[in-house]
Amino acid sequence: MSLQQTSQASRVARHTPQRKYRPDLHGIRGLAILGVVLFHLFGNGRVSGGIDIFLTVSGFLFTAMLLREAAENHGRINFLAYFGRLFRRIFAPAAIVVVITTIAGVFILPYTQHTQMLCEAVASLLYYENLELINSQLSYDAAGPETSLFQHFWSLSVQGQFYLVIPFIIVGLVWLARKRNQPAVFWVGTVLVATLAISMLWAVVYGAQLQDEAYLATSTRLWQLAFGGLLAIVIDHLRLVQGVRLVLGWAGLFMVVSTGFLFDGGQQFPGPLALWPLLGLAFVLLAASQDGTAERGSVTKLLNNKIFNWIGDYSYALYLWHWPLLIFYLALRDRDAVGIRGGLVILVAAIVLAMLLNHLVERPIQSWGRRAPGERANTIPVAVGLVVMLVFSNVVANYTMSKQQEAAQAQEAGYTLDTDTYPGALTTLEDGPQAPEVDTFEPHGEELAAVEQDYITQDCRQDGRNEPGSYEVTLCEDPEVPENPSATIVLAPDSHAGHWEQTFRTLGREYNWEVILAIKSGCNFTGVPDQPGNDYCHQWNDNFMDYLGSEDIDLVVAPGTQMYSRPAEEGFAEGAQDRWDQIAATDTPLLLIRGLIRPGGTAGTADCLASGNPPEECGGMVGDAHGPNPIETEDLAETTHTIDMNPYICPGVEQGPDTACSAVVGNVAVWYDNSHITPQYATTLAPVMEHEIRNLYPELFTS
């Protein structure tokens, strides 16, 4: 190498992070993961901030390692060695936990959960579980029987995506630095600063719109990885006196430990408030002396002791095991939360499994990467791992595809049942038929778990997003609209209007109606924003009133009250009465259906029934619905009427608030989740609905 080339290489590598082992970093990472585990077990859904630290540490370590390697090796990174290390240290232990958890889940969880579980197993293996959770609309929640078995893999997926991309970015930036004969840290630092600013701003914007998604998204977490990378670049160049370092260290440790107690991280992170634990991490690392010695009375001394080093050694395996153990415990015990004793049992079991995984897998597998100088890397373990991953993914993909096809075929077959065998709601009528004994109800099993209303599959609704454009009224047209409809019926504004779709479409086919749905999920008829900063539901309401004023609509069907799970609480959305009056002012008749009883219990209806529980234990409790319909006491317009369908949802509703509602009526499943009735049961309700509204709107039934 020429003198000029040597000088250039030295300049490019200038100020790159030093290569040294930091026991304080090992200790604080272990402490952060332990905090995650303890808050999952005992924190009642609160977020510890440990994941934020976990991601930042990843940014710190990998930015430093890759930048140093590329800058010192003329812009080259040994990708085979790099991905081999990732396979041994990160992927292999995670893959073992995924496979064992999946096998256990097949035996422990209701089979109605298997398809989603298998989809998430593949997503976890391929490091896109955070995207799968977002696409499946599964928010980051406290543990419960219905919570995703692989929910904790969301952060590993963000980490894995970062590991996949960062070496190529570093190589590109080092190449640019070499072309310009500048230090590589300048270009890497510039990109990290830009990433931090843009990603944090996006976290604020995205969080204001959809916090559940923002919490899980990679784009909103990039700033934390960038924060770690910037810290790795600058930390060796900061010199602080011992007294300042001592105070900073203990202040930082307090910030790290206190995060879960001071902040509601699930609702506030990864916005700017997540800087609290990250600055705490930075302060802890800045507290270390430059020569690496652990000074008496310092945080570094504390984190360098055997206990924290031991926690750090087993932290990754502990994180992998604790969550599936928690979900399995709740499922087997049929509980929606874990107590102190149960939490301790899970913690001990997770530690034991973590130690086994560490000693039997993590440590032995590291020997695969050790080789004598000049010896070629052993690629066989990586190749075997990739083959196993692909085979497992292919098997799961084929299984889930077959289940999805079965569900699609069942839906294409329609919702009309043989009423002699499956009379459903007809049995609730005074002179209705008796339901015969059958082997099983309809829909059942995975078909029930996969139920969706037709309008949902049409991609025509507005979801609950609080973002520009989500306030436009989009219509779900009638797929069987008559050539000359005798009436136009609109179901609005939310999914609790939408679950009457098959009831009114069935009547529509008989009486020549056009049935349209105008749905914005989670948006009631309300006169004020449903939460601070969210006025898109309010705007949607305004636009819906404009729509009614410009169209000739014969009837709007809407939920009247809101009925929640046990203990039942019934009421109106604020400003709902004003919206009803606005609809009446457009000369549009309005039918307000009293809110329906909802199932209670810790498991979803489909899971509860699939577990072999009696239908009476899988339904709801009558609660307040046994009393008079509260809408009847309101001053309603002449063209506005109300009905109560609860007697046909829960026979015996008039008996009192402690009456149990069966999840199966007339051999037909009533609910498909904890809130909505099945299309099949809605279809059997069509004659009942006609009986209820014929006298209220006789003009709809004229031929």
How much is the pLDDT for 374? Answer: 47
| φ/ψ (deg, to 5) at 660 | -85, 140
- Quick one: CATH architecture of 431-698? 3-Layer(aba) Sandwich (3.40)
Q: How confident is the model at residue 375 (pLDDT cuts 50, 70, 90)?
A: very low
Return the pLDDT at 390: 59
Position 296 scores a pLDDT of 75
CA 619 to chain centre: 25
The long-range contacts involving 378-382, CB below 8 angstroms and separated by at least 24 positions, are: 379/80, 379/84, 381/87, 381/88, 381/92, 382/83, 382/84, 382/87
Total Cβ atoms within 10 A of residue 502: 24
Residues 596-624 have a mean pLDDT of 78
Residue 625 is predicted with a pLDDT of 76
Task: Give the predicted TM-score (pTM) of the model.
Answer: 0.77
Q: Angle at which helices 306-333 and 92-108 pack, to 10 degrees?
A: 20
Q: List the domain boundaries for the chain.
A: 3-15+25-369+378-395, 431-698
How much is the average pLDDT of 359-369?
74
Phi, psi of 621 (to 5 degrees): -110, 145
Least confident segment among 121-125, 141-145, 603-607:
141-145
pLDDT at 597: 86
For the segment 270-285, what is each residue's pLDDT rounded down to a tens digit? 999 999 999 999 999 9
Residue indicated by tokens 């989603």: 116
pLDDT digit string, tens, across residues 167-209: 999 999 988 888 888 888 888 889 999 999 999 999 999 888 7
Residue-wise pLDDT tens digits, 655-667 = 777 778 888 999 9
Tell whether omega for the bond before 270 is within 30 degrees of 0, i.e. cis: yes
CA gap 678, 450 in Å, rounded: 11
Q: 444 or 423, which is more confident?
A: 423
Mean pLDDT score, 522-540:
73
- Between 149 and 388, the more confident residue is 149
137-146, 567-576, 583-592, 620-629: which has the minimum mean pLDDT? 137-146
DSSP string, 647-703: HHHSTTGGG-TTPBPPSEETTEE-BSSSS-B-HHHHHHTHHHHHHHHTTT-GGGG--
Q: Are strands 562-563 and 487-491 parallel, antiparallel or unpaired?
A: unpaired
Least confident segment among 159-173, 468-482, 594-608? 594-608
Cβ burial, residue 437 (10 Å; 0-12/13-18/19+): exposed
Distances (CA, A) of 58 to 54, 152, 155, 165: 6, 16, 11, 13
- Which of 208-212, 217-221, 376-380 is least confident? 376-380
What value does the mean pLDDT take over residues 408-431? 74
Q: How many helices (H) and strands (E) does the chain have?
A: 30, 10
Tens of pLDDT, residue by residue over 545-557, are 999 989 999 999 9
The secondary structure of residue 125, as a DSSP letter, is H
pLDDT in tens, 290-335: 666 667 777 888 888 888 888 888 999 999 999 999 999 988 887 7
Whether residue 280 contacts residue 252, with contact meaning beta carbons closer than 8 Å, is answered with: yes
Q: Where are the beta strands (DSSP E) in 183-338?
A: none
Contact predicate 248/181, CB 8 Å = no
- Left, alpha or beta for 262 (phi > 0: left; psi -120 to 50: alpha)? alpha
Q: Which residue has the higher pLDDT, 389 or 448?
A: 448
Asked if the bond preceding 614 is cis, omega within 30° of 0, the reply is no
Paired tokens of 103: 């096998």
Q: What is the pLDDT of residue 153?
A: 94
Of the candidates 502, 508, 515, the residue with the CA atom closest to the CA atom of residue 414? 502
Report which secondary-structure segment, H or E, holds 1: none
Confidence at residue 395, expressed as pLDDT on a 0 to 100 scale? 59
Is pLDDT at 565 greater than 60 in this prediction? no
Q: Is the pLDDT of residue 534 over 60?
A: no
Question: Within 10 Å of residue 356's Cβ, how many Cβ atoms?
Answer: 13
Residue whose C-alpha is closest to residue 680's, from 407, 403, 404, 411: 411
- In the chain, what percentage of residues exceed pLDDT 70? 86
* Rounded Cα gap, residues 651 and 123, in angstroms: 43
With CA atoms as reference, report the closest residue to 594 among 633, 548, 544: 633
Distance CA 699, CA 703 (A): 9
Instruction: Give pLDDT, residue 690.
Output: 93
Q: Which two tokens stand for residue 40?
A: 């999952």
Helix (H, G, I), strand (E, B) or coil at 618: helix
